């Protein structure tokens, strides 16, 4: 199992999301931009996808797909 840097507490809502999703990610295609977890978008059948805030705007991003690097859990 990989070891990631542990982020400080960001409040109870984000701390609950961080149990499921990494706190900080970057895309391998844009390594200079880091996305920070700030919400989750509900989908059908009780599923959800995390929303990350990048410098260019917010993005629904699956952190476990290929091409995404986890920086901080």
Question: Above 90 in pLDDT, residue 62?
Answer: yes
What pLDDT does residue 2 have?
Answer: 61
Average pLDDT of the residues in 30-52: 93
- The SS3 of residue 54 is strand
Q: Give the model's pLDDT for residue 15.
A: 80
In whole angstroms, give the CA distance from residue 51 to residue 42.
10
Residue 21, Cβ density class (10 Å: 0-12 exposed, 13-18 middle, ≥19 buried)? buried
Q: Judge whether residue 61 has pLDDT over 60.
A: yes
In this structure, how many other beta carbons lie within 10 angstroms of the beta carbon of residue 72?
A: 16
- Average pLDDT value for residue range 25-51: 93
| Chain centroid offset of residue 64 CA | 9
pLDDT > 90 fraction of the chain, expressed in percent and rounded: 67
Global pTM reads 0.81
Domain boundaries in the chain?
A: 12-72
């Amino acid at each position: 199992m990989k070891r990631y840097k542990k982020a400080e507490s960001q409040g109870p809502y984000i701390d609950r999301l961080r149990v499921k999703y990494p706190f900080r990610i970057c895309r391998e295609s844009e390594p200079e931009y880091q996305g920070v977890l700030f919400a989750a978008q509900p989908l059908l059948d009780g599923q959800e996808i995390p929303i990350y805030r990048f410098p260019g705007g917010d993005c629904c991003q699956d952190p476990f797909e290929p091409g995404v690097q986890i920086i901080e859990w």
